[in-house]
Amino acid sequence: MKLFPVLRNLIRENASTFISMLLLVVVPVVVSSTLAFILYQYQDFLRELTWLEMLVFFAVISVTMAFALTPTTFVALVSGFYLGWNGFAGIVVSYGIAALVGYGLAQLIDHGKMMSFLNRFEKARILMQELRNQSWSLIFLTRISPVLPFALMNFVLSLLQVNKKKFLVASIIGMLPRTLFFFWIGTQANDIINLLQDPDSGTGGQLLMISLIVISIGGLYFVFDRALKKALRKATVKND
């Protein structure tokens, strides 16, 4: 099988999917920079939200995170700064809603085209199935990392067609450590601009972030390596 013709066909037949994935990486960086200035202008109002206004806030950030307008780290820092611990549970629920919306959005954009293309190749089809069989670990490990973009991972995991219930539960559990950490940093800050430009996490915080990244990378390597080996064995047995 020639690699370049396959890659050309993959990109051509899934152009809209790849463009969407690229935007999910670029857009959050641009939008969050603009929002930082707006939040600074209205910080007195945001510190005095009623419960109803908080619910509106949670609904809005659920949408902005789902559509990659705001990074999850940005949301955790800002929410901790303005809402305090009263808003933590709402943020966790908002993450779950945003994950489900992102999952559905990816399905609407892709229409199963990516998996249909990969299923043409026996080894790729078996590999995707093995990854789905390990979906709980896969989802958890992508969520625990503070560097893997939230909206992009929604998209990728939706393309893989992981179980939606596992997707939701593993997403929320996997994001709790870093959400809790960045939310706490937000509660300790005195200035929103300085917070967003340089969230001082101290040595302990830096070690925690490094640990989460190492766990995520090491775990994902193990999951993919095991799935690949199983897929190759099954493909070999089937061809014998």
Q: Which two tokens stand for residue 75?
A: 């949301």
- What is the distance between the alpha carbons of residues 137 and 208, in angstroms, rounded to a whole number? 20
What does the pLDDT profile of the chain (240 residues) look like in tens digits?
A: 455 565 556 556 555 565 655 655 555 655 665 666 666 666 666 677 788 888 988 998 998 888 878 888 888 988 998 888 989 999 999 999 999 999 998 888 877 787 787 778 788 888 888 888 888 999 999 999 888 888 888 888 988 888 999 999 999 999 999 999 999 998 988 877 777 777 766 777 788 888 999 999 999 999 988 988 888 888 776 665
Which residue, 17, 225, 189, is CA-closest to 118?
Answer: 17
Scanning the structure block, which residue is given the tokens 């249909």? 116
For residues 65 and 94, the answer to whether their CB atoms sit within 8 Å is yes
Q: Within 10 A of 137 (CB to CB), how many other CB atoms are there?
A: 18
Report the chain's terminal Cα–Cα distance, integer Å. 19
pLDDT of residue 1: 47
Name the pTM for this structure: 0.79
- What is the distance between the alpha carbons of residues 27 and 102, in angstroms, rounded to a whole number? 14
For residues 163 and 139, the answer to whether their CB atoms sit within 8 Å is no
For residues 167 and 114, the answer to whether their CB atoms sit within 8 Å is no
Domain with 150 in it = 3-239
Task: Give, in degrees to the nearest 5, the angle at Cα 235 between 229 and 239.
Answer: 145
Structural domain count of the chain? 1
